[in-house]
Structure 1
Amino acid sequence: MLKPQDTLLALKYWALQSSGLHLPVRDLAAALDMSASEVSKGARRLLVARLLVSREGGYYAEVNALTEWLSFGVRYAYAVQEKGYGRGMGTGWSCELVRTEMVPPSPGVIWAVPGGMQEGVIVEPIYKGVPVAASQDALLYKALALVDAIRLGRPRELAIARAGLKRLLTGRES
């Protein structure tokens, strides 16, 4: 059974392969605020779930399966929990990297982080290491924000977020 950190790990593998990079397990763990053993166990779960494939001695995101999981499964497996109001980094439509016809909500939606630049409704990320990972990788941040737009969305917002995420994951974004 997948754990919340596995979704973050799958997205990081996708971001790395999109950038043509590869990280050793220890560096990957540090980038995601996880232990090396969590990364190894998560990769095994992702292989079983067919969200990752193993080839040429490395792991690669299976983009079609990952898109389906993020578009339709995550919303129900990891429902959004609001935690009050505060400062942090924007997510969903409040993320400055997500540019669509959607008007960001007021107040915005954020992940709580010390020294955050945006005010808004605090939502719990899918895993505690999400803000750390997103702050170090813009591509990953954009994907995670779109995942939160899906987790938070109503029907029209869902359709726009799902289409945007699919374009991003498949590399068809303009």
Structure 2
Amino acid sequence: MKQHSGMRPHDIVILLKIAAKGKQKWFMKDLAFELGISGSEISESINRSVYAGLIAGNKKRLMSLALLDFLEHGLPYVYPQQPGAIKRGLPTAHSAPPLNNIMLSKEAYIWPYANGNIRGQEIQPLHPNVPEACLKDSLFYELMSLCDSLRVGNSREKNIAMQELKDRIC
């Protein structure tokens, strides 16, 4: 195994895709296809996640509580984001499901996406292929949007996002 050099942003994307699969069996080649990330990157990511204690040593079981702990206490500091310029894209954070049904806001946050239908402040996704992958999997979309709320939200948004993540991942 390669020397561990720390987690990368797309590791979170891969972990959340595995979480979205729930109890369904998953294979690295399927993750690669569904996320548009190379098979070798998926493999290296899984190895980093095993080393970090976010996936079990057998590389088949997500360590849900450890992942939730990392998302709550690490994600906002390791992969922070500041809303940027107004662009067209796919809604995220409080502008996307499920938080858009709970909170009202005049400001929209989006991932830049050429085929997007909303204008809002740009939030850089954890991987460039996230918007495309989210359009194919609604639960994965919710998990990614909730994580963006942890990255850019205020205390109230973060608390609600964490509860929603716990409801979906545990």
Structure 1 Cα separation of the partners of residues 159 and 142 of structure 2: 17
Question: Residue deviations 1:84-137, cap 9 Å, x none?
Answer: 11111110110034355322x322000011110111111101222221221111
Amino acid at match of 1:139: L
In structure 1, stretches of 5+ residues that fail to align are: none
Q: 1:47 aligns with which of 50, 59, 70?
A: 50
Kindly report which structure 2 residues correspond to 1:1-174, keeping only aligned pairs within 5 A, or say none: 1-16=6-21, 18=22, 20-55=23-58, 59-98=60-99, 101-103=102-104, 105-170=105-170
Offset, 1:26? 2.3
Contact 2:34 2:133 in 1 (8 A): yes
Look up the SS of the partner of 1:48 in the other structure. helix
Question: Residue deviations 1:23-60, cap 9 Å, x none?
Answer: 432221121121100000000000011111144xx522
- More strand per residue: 1
Q: Percent identity?
A: 30
TM-score, normalisation: structure 2: 0.89
TM-score, normalisation: structure 1: 0.87
The total of aligned residue pairs comes to 165
Cα distance change on mapping 1:76 and 1:141 into 2, 3 Å: same
